[in-house]
Chain A
């Protein structure tokens, strides 16, 4: 079936250091999925951080970037220099391009920033 895997449940990074959160996916029934990163800040609802719908393209928002790698079936989230305000839980997700509200989520990665 279709699935999303985030291997790290929790990541701690020092402020101003770089970050990478890994995401791989399997899309056996969805031929060409849309890929997303969602974020939940403390006390807030889940919100879209970025999305990419074309293989090989990069999405970016708030200093975060992710590239749709169809060959590696990956969509890793990166940031060059994290800030304390980036502390949140990050979810990788995919959907069929014709049914974008039906999202398949990864387990989520909690990012903590050390001052």
Chain B
């Protein structure tokens, strides 16, 4: 089936540094999402993105977070600066849009802030 690819699968970063998580969504999908899962907790919605704009963000989407998809390439989540509490698995997802369409998830990037 369609695949969402996330690169890398694991990233370790020093607190205060910038990190960019990359996602290659399913081609021809129009809606893009990031979710965050802290170890032992539920997966939680961060943000959705459509037509070059953030459509909705949750309270977990701090000011230090930003998303973009320049020129239809990777959909990225940037955290600048990182904090210890940003350590989590981040899942990218995409969907074609419209009613009753399926959302496809990547395998996640485990971010460890030290």
Name A's B-contacting residues (CB within 8 A): 4, 38, 43-48, 53, 91, 97, 99-108
Known interface pairs A46-B91, A53-B100. Does A102 touch B56 (Cβ–Cβ under 8 Å)? yes
Chain B residues whose C-beta falls within 8 Å of the C-beta of A100 in the assembled complex: 95, 99-101, 103
Chain B residues whose C-beta falls within 8 Å of the C-beta of A106 in the assembled complex: 42
- Interface check B84, CB cutoff 8 A: no
- Minimum CB–CB distance for A55 against chain B, Å: 16
- Interface check B48, CB cutoff 8 A: yes
Rank and list the top 3 A-B pairs by shortest CB-CB distance, nearest first: A46-B105, A45-B107, A105-B43
Per-position binary interface string of chain B over residues 49-77, scored 1 when its CB falls under 8 Å from any chain A CB and 0 otherwise: 00000001000000000000000000000
Q: Is the CB–CB distance between A102 and B48 below 8 Å? A: yes
Which residue from chain A places its CB closest to the CB of B48 in the assembled complex? A101
Chain B residues whose C-beta falls within 8 Å of the C-beta of A97 in the assembled complex: 99
Known interface pairs A101-B31, A101-B93. Does A48 touch B102 (Cβ–Cβ under 8 Å)? yes
